[in-house]
Chain A
Amino acid sequence: MNLTLPRFFWSEYRKRRKKASLITFALFWGTLSILLLMAFGQGMSTQFQVSFKGLGETLIMISGGQTSLTYEGLPKGRAIRVYRDDVAYLRERIPEILRIVPESYNGWPVSVGGKELNRNVHGTTADFAVLRSQIARMGGRFLNDDDNALGRKVAFIGWKVAQDLFGVSDPVGQHVIINRIPFTVVGVLQKKIQDSMYQGPDADQIYVPFTSFLMIDNQPYVDRIHIQPKTGDESLLIEERAKVLLGRKYRFDPKDRYALGIWNTIEDSKEGLAVFRGIEIFLGVVGALTLLIGAVGVTNLMYAVAKERTKEIGIKLAIGARRRVIVQQFLLETVFIFAKGTFWGFITAFNIVSLIRLAPINYDSFGIEAYLLRPEISFQIFVAYMIILGALVFLSGIFPAWRASRLNPIESLRYE
Chain B
Amino acid sequence: MIELQSIKKVYTMGSQSLEALRGVTLKVEQGEFISIMGPSGSGKSTLMNIIGCLDTPSAGNYILDGDKVAGLSFDQLAAVRNRKIGFVFQNFNLLPYATSWENVELPLLFDGKSARRRRERVVELLNAVGLYDWRSHRPSELSGGQQQRIALARALANDPPILLADEPTGNLDSKSGEEIMDILTKLWKEGRTIVMVTHNDHISARSQRIIRLFDGLVV
Instruction: Spell out A's residues near B (CB within 8 Å).
Output: 2, 4-5, 8, 11-12, 15-16, 311-312, 314-325, 406, 408-410, 413
Contacts and interface: CB of A to CB of B under 8 A. Distances in A.
A318 B87 CA distance: 8
Given A4-B115, A410-B49, A410-B55, A319 B97 contact: no
Contact of B75 (A2, A323, A408): A323
Contacts, number: 68
Given A315-B94, A323-B78, A408-B54, 17 more contacts: A4-B112, A5-B109, A12-B98, A15-B98, A316-B106, A318-B52, A319-B81, A319-B106, A319-B110, A320-B82, A322-B78, A323-B74, A408-B55, A408-B56, A410-B49, A410-B54, A413-B89
A15 B78 contact: no
A314 B89 CA distance: 13
B57 to A, nearest CB: 12
B79 interface: yes
A312 B102 CA distance: 14
Given A4-B112, A5-B109, A16-B97, A319 B87 contact: yes
A5 B158 CA distance: 17
A16 B95 CA distance: 12
B154 interface: yes
B135 to A, nearest CB: 15
B216 interface: no
B51 to A, nearest CB: 12
Given A322-B75, A322-B78, A408-B54, A312 B95 contact: yes
B93 interface: yes
Contacts of A312: 95
B70 to A, nearest CB: 15
Nearest to A320: B82
Contacts of A409: 54-55, 81
Given A16-B97, A315-B93, A320 B115 contact: no
A317 B78 contact: yes
10 contacts: A311-B93, A316-B106, A318-B87, A319-B82, A320-B81, A322-B75, A322-B110, A323-B74, A406-B74, A413-B93
A136 B35 CA distance: 97
A4 B111 CA distance: 11
B107 interface: yes
Interface string B39-70: 00000000001001011100000000000000
Contacts of B54: 318, 408-410, 413
Contacts of B149: none
Band of interface residues on B: 20 to 34
A320 B77 CA distance: 8
Most buried by B among A15, A317, A320, A413: A320
Nearest to A413: B93
Most buried by A among B87, B110, B158: B110
B110 A315 contact: no
B83 interface: yes
A325 B109 CA distance: 11
Contacts of B78: 317, 320-323
Contacts of A8: 109
Q: 3 shortest A-B CB distances, which residue pairs?
A: A320-B82, A410-B54, A15-B97
A221 B95 CA distance: 93
Interface string B157-183: 010000000000000000000000000
A359 to B, nearest CB: 47
A167 B109 CA distance: 77
Nearest to B96: A312
Interface string B90-121: 00011101100010001101111001000000
A241 B55 CA distance: 90
A56 B152 CA distance: 83
A318 B81 contact: yes
B110 A320 contact: yes
A410 B81 CA distance: 12
A318 to B, nearest CB: 6
B215 to A, nearest CB: 21
A320 B110 CA distance: 6
A171 to B, nearest CB: 72
Given A15-B98, A312-B95, A320 B112 contact: no
A408 B77 CA distance: 11
A12 B102 CA distance: 10
Contact of B154 (A2, A317, A319, A324): A319
A312 B98 CA distance: 11
Most chain A C-beta atoms within 10 Å of own C-beta, residue among B52, B89, B93: B93
B71 to A, nearest CB: 17
Contacts of B109: 4-5, 8
Nearest to B157: A319
Interface in B174-195: none
